[in-house]
Amino acid sequence: MALRLKIIFVILGVLIGAFFSAQLRSSAPTGSFPTDVMQARVDLVKSFVAEQSTYQSRIVELRTAIETMQKKNEKATEKNSLAILETLKEQLGLTVLKDTGLHIFLDDSPSASREEEENMTQALIQASDLRDVINVLRVARAKAIAINHQRIIASTSITAVGNSILVNNVPLAPPFLITAIGDPESLARYLIGADMLQGLLDRKKEHHLTVDIRSKDALTVPVYSGDFRTKFLHPPTP
């Protein structure tokens, strides 16, 4: 009886101690306040995304208009300059590219939900997965790459904020369609054999993620519709 009483006291003590510690760390508010705040956040994100989309369309429109005007004033310019500019724009992702290549389709586990899952669960496609696939495609010398119609350039960042993924600071939702232009066989060989992607392929088996690679004859990678930062960058001072 005495032993049983001691056991009860020990268990109660551990539970109360753990509960007390958890309560001290918890900052959960009461009432509907967090729901209202989260709804306001969702609405704000939606309005920023809509504004971003408008800005990106305007940027593409202006770049096209500038190109048209430059060609129209061809007599006032040197043809050679326009040809040089065109080559540079191709390298920077400022031209549409159409050719053969691969579609790589990535999606979360059918049983997982980004709204409910705790951050960074293995059953969701992570920003790091996208970065690794892009890295392997670059190693494989893909000529152009896009994720859900967002052109990937040298300074593209792919990051996670909560369970959202931002590519070029544009929020993207799964499924993720990566378009890569290049020799399909060579690109696929690099992807399948890449050590860097073994973790993703293991999670595909374990958590039923979708990782699907398809060769395609006619693919289009859109232009980069973001900005270039050159506030600190300049040619060397003589």
Residue 148, interface with other proteins (CB under 8 A)? no
Closer of 92 and 201 to other proteins (Cβ):
92
Least separation in angstroms between CB 101 and other proteins:
16
Among candidate residues 131, 129, 137, 153, the one with its CA nearest the CA of residue 103: 137
Size of the site for other proteins (CB under 8 A): 90
One residue of 1, 3, 4, 20 binding other proteins per CB under 8 A: 20
Other beta carbons within 10 angstroms of residue 68's beta carbon come to: 10
Binding residue (CB under 8 A) for other proteins from 100, 103, 114, 138: 138
Q: What is the spatial distance between Cα 221 and Cα 98, in angstroms, rounded to a whole number? A: 6
Bridge partners of 106, per DSSP, are 176, 211
Residue 236 Cβ vs other proteins, minimum distance, rounded to whole Å:
5
164 binds other proteins (CB under 8 A): yes
- 63, 183 in Cβ contact below 8 A? no
Residue 113 binding other proteins, by CB under 8 A: no
Q: Is 49 in the site for other proteins (CB under 8 A)?
A: yes
The Cα–Cα gap between 115 and 93 comes to 33
When asked if residue 79 is in the footprint of other proteins (CB under 8 A), the reply is: no
Task: Round to whole Å and give the CA distance between 116 and 113.
Answer: 5
Contact with other proteins (CB under 8 A) among 66, 96, 173, 192: 66
Ramachandran sector of residue 148 (left: φ over 0; alpha: ψ -120 to 50; beta: rest): left
Here the tokens at position 4 are: 């049983």
Segment near other proteins (CB under 8 A), from 7-15, 99-107, 180-188, 214-222? 7-15
Among 34, 36, 39, 169, binds other proteins (CB under 8 A): 169
Dihedral of CA 187/191/123/121: which sign?
negative
Regarding 108 and contact with other proteins (CB under 8 A), the answer is no
Q: Residue 168, by phi and psi: left (phi above 0), alpha (psi -120 to 50) or beta?
A: left
Is the CB of 80 or the CB of 217 nearer to other proteins? Answer: 80
Between CA 127 and CA 106 the distance in angstroms is 11
Nearest-approach distance from CB 13 to other proteins, in angstroms: 3
Between 16 and 206, whose beta carbon lies closer to other proteins?
16
Q: For other proteins, which is the closer residue by CB, 115 or 217?
A: 115
Question: Applying CB under 8 A, does 173 fall inside the site for other proteins?
Answer: no
Min dist. Cβ of residue 177 to other proteins (A): 20
